[in-house]
Amino acid sequence: MTAPGQGVQRPGMLDPWLDAVPGAPALVADWSRAAGFDLVEAGRDEALLADTAYAQPLIVAASLLAHQLLRDRLPSAADEVLFAGHSVGELAAAAGAGYLSPRDAVALARVRGAAMSAACAVAPTGMAAVMPARRNPASDEEIVAAVGTAGLTVANFNGSHQFVAAGPADRVEALADAPPPGIRVSPLAVAGAFHTEAMAPAVAQFARAIQDVRLAEPASALLGNGEGEPVAGPEDLRRRLITQITSPVRWDLCAQAIARRAPGALHIELAPAGPLTRLLQRARPEARAVALGVPEDLDRVLAEAAGSGLPAVAGMPEERELVGAR
């Protein structure tokens, strides 16, 4: 079960879940106090959704509401799910696995988002999706080499021959203006170079916040998005959440890990969902996947789970097209 990263937010994304999830208004009110702002009202504000400080806790909240509804309707899956989250989605995934309370996950997403937003103001940086051209496409190795030659860093290894380059804004612009042969480049509407050393100013603030949070022994397995390896326990998760702020997301390794650990599993992408599942289906047309974007999508999850004869749901879709989730 995956939780998406930043870039999937849309106005009103919490609204459908408020009536569908038992006790949702009280939950969201509590999470709003933890975040320091009204999640419902902010989630309807397009300008705030464009701000990393607001977008990250809102995305985590949406994922957690979808997960709560899924647990209510499919309790037999609770103990056998394999979780993972792309970038900030790792906080929602960690809560789903039982490491964090949902309230703490939202609060940490607020600290993380605000700290990263402040880091973006230190110097002009940016990101761009980098992919093979449709004709005479470059290889993955050639794409990674071209990003380095441009003076940039690969911030996301998303799989399916998709990468996100990040670094100084002028270098991102230069790469987009004159892409090497066999390569397509699409600049992303982001505030800065996430998952690179440009985010170093955000690390200390987030590290202090997570040191104050109690992490529990999990009920379910969780893959770390920096290595695609199972998280070994609470302290390992704490370390990973801190280091991933400045480290690349290795979603390609996560995809390989899920193929080994749960072949044939049902893949569920938590809200705000959609692009992750489409990418998975493009990479692996045979995969069974449902994007839980609105509460009504749960009917498809239940039908897939019943049809499979499996008592649990698990999965790991790849990252959304043309977006460097963060």
Residues annotated as catalytic are 87, 195
234-243 vs 200-211: helix crossing angle, rounded to 10: 160
Count of beta carbons in the 10 Å neighbourhood of residue 229: 14
Q: What is the DSSP letter of 216?
A: -
**What are the strands, taking DSSP E only, across the chain?**
2-3, 82-85, 125-132, 153-159, 162-168, 183-187, 221-222, 249-250, 266-269, 288-291
Residue that has been written with the tokens 């040191």 in this structure: 211
Rounded to whole angstroms, how far apart are CA atoms 113 and 49? Answer: 11
Sign of the dihedral through C-alpha 226, 227, 228, 232 = negative
Rounded to whole angstroms, how far apart are CA atoms 255 and 317? Answer: 7
- Looking only at the bridges linking them, the beta strands covering 221-222 and 249-250 are unpaired
